[in-house]
Amino acid sequence: MEIDQEIKSFLDEKVIQYNQFDFIEPDPISIPHQFSLKEDIEIAGFLAATIAWGNRKMILKNANRMVELMGESPYDFIMEHDNKQLKRLNGFVHRTFNSDDFKYFIKALQNIYLNHNGLEAVFTKYTTTDSIQPAIHHFKNTFFSIEHPSRTQKHVGDPFKGSAAKRINMYLRWLVRDDKTGVDFGLWKSISPAILSCPLDVHSGNVARKLGLLTRKQNDAKAVAELDGNLRLLDPNDPVKYDFALFGLGVFEGF
């Protein structure tokens, strides 16, 4: 694809319109924005991103409930929980994500902080010079490297098995991009925003197809690769800023 300057100008305007502080409140990124400690932001963000599908109000309600169940201190809860405290999570459910999944996520995150130097280190270890996707695959392997319910694996996407891994790509945008407007955190300096992938869902996919940025019909790992290639032509240093444009056009403008 050659760069269409008209499309680039249009999308750049939409990025400016939507990549603003008032984007935060109705979005799942509002959950990690409740915290200032790096580890709290990482954990609250990961949990919020994990359940970020379906009705937005329900996502926010349930993500806030997750934080509440952890005593408003995600990192402390992850590191210091015991079986009695895990019982607090009984009855939690968001669509197909239930309390058994939640309890395993707590244990897996503890393992990552105790034995793998934390979330940033795991993702950083397996990035390549041009892609974050291998890191997502290896992160999933690490996340499920301790005994786990097989049902829980479906809650973490794997691009090596064809998944668009929308929620993890969104989470990585939050932690890696420094957008200077206070929306994305830019906490993880060890990963370049140039290698991030666009969180691809029904909204961003439909808009991307209408604009000629995506031809593949399925929203899968191959579609992510195609969209990445085209967005990197528009901005090689910060391609996923266009997530704001594609999402905003789809959700708020019915483009």
**Sign (positive or negative) of CA dihedral 134, 234, 182, 49:** negative
pLDDT, residue 133, reads 97
Which CA distances in Å does 201 have to 65, 137, 163, 250? 25, 19, 11, 10
Going from the first residue of the chain to its last (255 residues), give the mean pLDDT of each consecutive group of 10, the final group possibly shorter: 85 96 95 98 98 94 98 97 93 96 98 98 96 97 96 96 97 96 97 98 96 96 97 97 96 89
Please give the full DSSP string across 179-232, using - where no structure is assigned. Answer: -SSSSSB---TTS-GGG------HHHHHHHHHTTS---SS-SHHHHHHHHHHHH
Q: Where are the domains of the chain?
A: 5-251
What angle, 0 to 180 degrees and rounded to 10, lies between the N-to-C axes of helices 5-18 and 221-234?
100
Residues β-bridged to residue 182: none
Task: Check residue 116 and report its DSSP letter.
Answer: S
pLDDT of residue 1: 64
Q: What is the reported pTM?
A: 0.96
d(CA 126, CA 134): 6
Angstrom CA distances, 31 to 41, 46, 107, 163, stand at: 8, 10, 21, 25
For residue 97, what is the enclosing H or E element?
Answer: strand 97-98
Phi, psi (rounded to 5 degrees) for 103: -60, -40
134, HSE (Cβ side, Cα atoms, 13 Å): 9
